[in-house]
Structure 1
Amino acid sequence: MDKTNILNTITLITIFVMLLLAFFLLSVKAKNKLSNRLFAGFLLLTTFDLTSFLTGSYFETNLNFEIFRMTISLLIMPVFYLYVKSVCYSDFRLKSKHLLLLIPFVVANLVFIPRFYLATATESISIYEQFKQMPEIRFFYILAELQYAFYIILVFIILKKYKEIYLENYTNANNSSYKWLFQMTVFFLIAHCIVLFKSLIRYTDYNVLFNSSNAIIGAIALLISCWFVLKALNNPELFKGVDSNMLLVNEALHTKGSAKAKEPSETPKSAEIALQIELVKKHVIENEPYLEPSLTIQELAKQVSIPVRDLSVLINHHMNQHFFDFVNEFRIQKAMQILKDASKSKHTILEILYEVGFNSKSSFNTAFKKHTNQTPTEFRKASL
């Protein structure tokens, strides 16, 4: 089997897997309907783009189809960006302003109309012979690279902010949705670098490498699509977004500072801050709200009758801790008490971590070692 047949086989399998997953996402009943549909749209657009590996001989007689397929690729990153937003923020909704994301796609098609879409059959053959040198094609590739760079940077910024908000407002540090999106973005970045390399050597004399890079891209696409399926099967309830109205502590302080500039008033004194900290800690010790694995800063704010933003500033700024660190500190103290209790020596580590509010062995071990410099098992042996 030659390289072309291998590439075609890999491409067909990849397309089949992606179409199957897209159909599943569109048909399955789930809470995250918007994110599922956006991900399905992303898969369908990627699948259409992958057909370029199968349209070699089709290109000469179907120039319009090939150009349209090229411009469709300009929709992939905008849809991926919207998908990331929908996963990160539970209240995300599509709005009319998102139509602006279509501008590069529209511009590219307008550029191609005069000499490509309106070309005659004879002109199409001539275009094929000069394809790489035509200014419209070069403009398209430059536009595509600029668009990709813009969105990949934007996605990493969104993920960074999402992680910070999550750590400041939630107690479960084992955030699977962040890991999924970050890993997927990194994989796409690596794959794109290989595609960019392929595009560059296309304009050189190293055509042997061009065919090899196509096979590598096809194999990577197949591996990524299979990874998508495995993730979907192993994590059916993977995503848990945060409220987009939540602010980082630095943003909250800035907003608060601006408001106080308009309405002159003194900032809380150190004694008042210390009293608030003492009251919050006393409530947590006496009522043990940390035993609830899904405790959020909103829930704790209701219990201590402090506005969410003020409580977030109190913990993350004045106590210099993320919310999950603050809560996990109490969980670890509780776990240490149980581990030192000889009457509970038969309790397994798994039983103890669930009892004190953790829902993951890895996150429990990480938090325990962070606070004690020992694993739970080492601590128990040293204490009994």
Structure 2
Amino acid sequence: MDKLSFLEVIAAIAVFISLLLAVFLLTVKTERKLENRLFAAFLIINAIDISGLFMHIFVDSYNLKTFKISAYLLVMPLFYLYVNAVCYSDFTLKRKHLLHLIPFIVANLILVPRLYLAQGAAKEAFFKAMWHSPEMFFYQVIGELQFFFYIVAVFLILKKYKKIYLENYTNPSTLLYKWLSQLTRIFLVIHVCIILKNIVRYTQHKDLFIWLNIVAGTVFLLAACWFILKALNYPELFRRIDSTLQPTNDFVEILKTDNKSDEIKSFQIQQLKNFMVEKEPFLEPSLTIQELADQVGIPVRDLSVLINHHINQHFFDFVNEYRIKKAMTILKDPSKKECTVLEILYKVGFNSKSSFHTSFKKYTNQTPTAYRNS
């Protein structure tokens, strides 16, 4: 099998898996319909884009082939909207999101005179030399600027998500942040291959151009398979946050101007610590800062500032510290020798073995088993 045939096979498999996963996302029963639909659309557009590697076998239409090329300008907007929908529970599609179509529309409009409206030999001549035309140069500039804009926007969303999550939630799972970060980095790798491929396109190194296509197609295929494995292994992967929540830094300066004395703040901190020891609210795996604020009787913003700036811990770490201390007590209790580590981690508020072991080692520099036997 020569390189071109191998490339076509890789592309065909990637398209098949992407479309299969898209159909699953569109038909599966779930409360998270918007995220599934956006990711399904993302997969379909990617499948359309990568189908260009073998489309010539089945399609002769120059218009359709060119429209396929321009469809790539829908990939990053869909991924950006998907990340928003996954991260924020109150995210909905609005009319303003139609603005994301502008690069795609502009790219097609500039091709109208010399391609879409052209006929016969003129259309064929333009298509054959298309990648050397001013129109396609403009298209590639738009594509690179768009990619850079959206990739930065996605990383900013994930950065904000992680900060808000650590300041407001205690569910030990951070799979969402890790998974989306990994997925975004994979797209970076694929796009680097695309950039190199586009540069090599204008040289005489045709073999290198084909190999770069093979690498990009293979990475995309592996990414699609990886997503399926993630979905199977972690069906409850995502925990979303409310987009109206703000990082503590956004409002801490306002609260610093209040007239509360250091004595009052010290009293509230002691009140909070006593409440954590006596009532043990940390035993609830999904405890949020809003729920703790309601229980302890401190306004949620005041509580956030107390924990993040006066105790100098994220809410996530603050609560997990009490969970680890409780686990340490159980592990050293002779009457609880029969309790397994798995039973203990669930008993103290964790819901993941890996998260428990990571947090335990962070606080004790030992594994739970080593601590019990020491």
**How many angstroms does 1:57 deviate by?**
6.4
Aligned to 2:290: 298
TM-score, normalised via structure 1 length: 0.94
**How many angstroms does 1:171 deviate by?**
1.1
Alignment of 1:173-184 (within 5 A): 173-184=172-183
Cα distance in 1, alignment partners of residues 299 and 356 from structure 2 = 29
2:40 maps to a residue whose letter is A
**How many angstroms does 1:239 deviate by?**
1.4
Aligned to 1:335: 327
Structure 2 residue 190 is matched with structure 1 residue 191: yes
User: Given the superposition, is the C-alpha separation of residues 297 and 209 from structure 1 closer, same or farther in structure 2, using an over 3 Å criterion?
Assistant: same
Structure 2 residue 212 is matched with structure 1 residue 213: yes
SS in 1 for 2:153: helix
Question: Does the 8 Å CA contact 2:38/2:78 hold for their aligned counterparts?
Answer: yes
Question: Does the 8 Å CA contact 1:165/1:248 hold for their aligned counterparts?
Answer: yes
Alignment of 1:341-380 (within 5 A): 341-380=333-372
Q: Write the deviation string for residues 104-158 of structure 1: whole angstroms up to 9, x where unpaired.
A: 1111111111112111111122213432221001000010011001101110111
Cα distance in 2, alignment partners of residues 54 and 129 from structure 1 = 17
Q: Write the deviation string for residues 174-224 of structure 1: whole angstroms up to 9, x where unpaired.
A: 211112111111111101111111111001111111111122222222111
**How many angstroms does 1:358 deviate by?**
1.0
Alignment of 1:268-279 (within 5 A): 268-279=260-271
Aligned to 1:43: 43
Cα distance in 1, alignment partners of residues 57 and 24 from structure 2 = 32
Cα distance in 1, alignment partners of residues 42 and 57 from structure 2 = 26
Cα distance in 2, alignment partners of residues 38 and 125 from structure 1 = 35
Question: Does the 8 Å CA contact 2:172/2:350 hold for their aligned counterparts?
Answer: no
**How many angstroms does 1:301 deviate by?**
0.9
**How many angstroms does 1:80 deviate by?**
0.4
Alignment of 1:75-94 (within 5 A): 75-94=74-93
Question: Does the 8 Å CA contact 1:301/1:307 hold for their aligned counterparts?
Answer: yes
Aligned to 2:122: 123
TM-score, normalised via structure 2 length: 0.96
Say which is worse superposed, 369-378 or 281-290, in terms of deviation: 369-378
Structure 2 residue 248 is matched with structure 1 residue 249: yes
Structure 2 residue 53 is matched with structure 1 residue 53: yes
Aligned to 1:263: none
2:158 maps to a residue whose letter is L
Structure 2 residue 92 is matched with structure 1 residue 100: no
1:285 maps to a residue whose letter is V
Structure 2 residue 17 is matched with structure 1 residue 17: yes
Cα distance in 2, alignment partners of residues 24 and 57 from structure 1 = 27
Aligned to 1:138: 137
Q: Write the deviation string for residues 233-262 of structure 1: whole angstroms up to 9, x where unpaired.
A: 2222221100101110101224546xx6xx
Question: Does the 8 Å CA contact 2:103/2:142 hold for their aligned counterparts?
Answer: yes
Cα distance in 2, alignment partners of residues 122 and 267 from structure 1 = 80
Q: Write the deviation string for residues 292-324 of structure 1: whole angstroms up to 9, x where unpaired.
A: 111111110110122222211111111110001
Q: Write the deviation string for residues 41-98 of structure 1: whole angstroms up to 9, x where unpaired.
A: 1011111111110134678x52211221121111110010000000011111111111
1:281 maps to a residue whose letter is K
**Which one of 276, 279, 287 corresponds to residue 287 of structure 1?**
279
Unpaired segments ≥5 residues, structure 1: 261-265
Question: Does the 8 Å CA contact 1:167/1:173 hold for their aligned counterparts?
Answer: no
Aligned to 2:31: 31
Aligned to 1:225: 224
Cα distance in 2, alignment partners of residues 255 and 103 from structure 1 = 39
Say which is worse superposed, 359-368 or 320-329, in terms of deviation: 359-368
Cα distance in 1, alignment partners of residues 149 and 205 from structure 2 = 30
Question: Does the 8 Å CA contact 2:168/2:288 hold for their aligned counterparts?
Answer: yes
Identity percentage over the alignment? 53
Cα distance in 2, alignment partners of residues 107 and 126 from structure 1 = 22
1:2 maps to a residue whose letter is D
1:128 maps to a residue whose letter is F
1:275 maps to a residue whose letter is F
Cα distance in 1, alignment partners of residues 61 and 331 from structure 2 = 72
1:121 maps to a residue whose letter is G
**How many angstroms does 1:373 deviate by?**
2.0
1:325 maps to a residue whose letter is D
Q: Write the deviation string for residues 27-54 of structure 1: whole angstroms up to 9, x where unpaired.
A: 1110111000000010111111111101
SS in 2 for 1:295: coil
Cα distance in 2, alignment partners of residues 351 and 332 from structure 1 = 14
SS in 2 for 1:248: coil
Say which is worse superposed, 21-30 or 210-219, in terms of deviation: 210-219
**How many angstroms does 1:16 deviate by?**
1.1
User: Given the superposition, is the C-alpha separation of residues 2 and 195 from structure 1 closer, same or farther in structure 2, using an over 3 Å criterion?
Assistant: same
